[in-house]
């Protein structure tokens, strides 16, 4: 599968959150499309990754970076993309703490979208079951029983959605979560 190609020449980006194969893949794709990684704020593009496994390794939740959004506004604009679990929009029985944390992050996405508009677009990717080879990197395999596509996604599925949200041609999407979950979020139940 080919990654989406967008024009990011001259744009800067920063990745916030735990180090992971997903973070590396997003960073590689942004660079491949012409963006330049920076360590300092503000960047033109900020990708904020949250832990994507509900019973993960206890990776810390990243700061919600409101100050960086304000600096983007002062600099003329930008994009912030949060990478969350699809459980941000739909809670899962047995995952109350994780579902609540994700829902709180999604509320922050929507609040920032209102506060930083019209100069900064703020959106989220909601990851369902994502595998890297045989390793689970997002979601819970029980979710597959309610996913329309009946299979796990790949890290590239998340990366391509992040690229779509960062694409300069995408100018009218803000405050949204785009679920990359094989149809899990339109399923009939989440009793696992």
Q: Is the pLDDT of residue 117 over 70?
A: yes
Residue 172 among the catalytic residues? no
> What are the distances in angstroms from CA 27 to CA 23, 70, 88?
6, 23, 23
How much is the average pLDDT of 56-82? 83
Domain assignment of residue 82, yes or no: yes
**pLDDT for the residue numbered 64:** 67
**Confidence tier at 62 by pLDDT (50, 70, 90):** confident
- E-strand ranges in 17-112 read 36-37, 45-49, 78-85
Q: Is residue 142 part of a domain?
A: yes
pLDDT at residue 59, as a whole number: 65
Contacts of 170 (CB under 8 A, 6+ apart): 121, 164
For the chain, list the strands marked E by DSSP: 12-16, 36-37, 45-49, 78-85, 120-127, 130-132, 135-138, 153-154, 177-180
> Would you state the pLDDT for residue 42?
87
Taking the C-alpha atoms of residue 67 and residue 42, their distance in angstroms, rounded to an integer, is 9
* CATH code assigned at 96: 3.40.50.720
Q: State the Cα torsion 109-55-30-104 to the nearest 10°.
A: 0
Question: Under DSSP, is residue 131 helix (H, G, I), strand (E, B) or coil?
Answer: strand
In a domain, 154, yes or no: yes
> Does the residue 114 lie in any domain?
yes
Domain for residue 136, yes or no? yes
State phi, psi for 41 to the nearest 5 degrees.
-90, 155
Taken in order 143, 110, 55, 160, the sign of the CA dihedral is positive
Do residues 189 and 114 make contact, with C-beta atoms less than 8 angstroms apart?
Answer: no
| Overall number of domains in the chain | 1
Tell me which residue range forms the domain holding 140. Answer: 12-184
Specify the pTM: 0.94
User: For strand 130-132 and strand 135-138, is the pairing parallel, antiparallel, or unpaired?
Assistant: antiparallel
- Whether residue 189 lies inside any domain: the answer is no
pLDDT, tens digit, 9 for 90 and up, residues 74-99: 999 999 999 999 999 998 888 889 99
Q: Where is pLDDT greater, at 171 or 56? A: 171
User: Quick check: is 105 in a domain?
Assistant: yes
Q: What is the mean pLDDT of residues 144-165?
A: 95
| Radius of gyration of the chain from its Cα atoms, rounded to whole angstroms | 16
Q: Note whether residue 2 is domain-resident.
A: no
């Amino acid at each position: 599968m080919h990654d989406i190609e967008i024009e990011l020449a001259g744009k800067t980006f920063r990745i916030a959150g735990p180090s992971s194969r997903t973070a590396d893949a997003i960073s590689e794709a942004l660079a491949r499309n012409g963006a330049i990684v920076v360590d300092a704020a503000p960047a033109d593009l900020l990708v904020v990754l949250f832990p994507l496994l509900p019973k993960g390794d206890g990776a810390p939740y990243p700061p919600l970076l409101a100050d960086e959004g304000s600096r983007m506004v002062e600099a003329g604009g930008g994009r912030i993309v949060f990478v969350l679990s699809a459980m941000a929009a739909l809670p899962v029985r047995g995952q109350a703490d994780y579902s609540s944390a994700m829902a709180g992050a999604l509320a922050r996405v929507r609040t920032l979208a209102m506060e930083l508009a019209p100069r900064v677009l703020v959106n989220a990717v909601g990851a369902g079951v994502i595998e890297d080879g045989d390793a689970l990197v997002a979601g819970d395999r029980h979710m597959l029983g309610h996913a329309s596509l009946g299979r796990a996604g790949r890290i590239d599925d998340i990366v391509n959605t992040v690229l779509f949200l960062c694409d300069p041609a995408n100018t009218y999407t803000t405050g949204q979560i785009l679920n990359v979950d094989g149809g899990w979020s339109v399923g009939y139940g989440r009793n696992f």
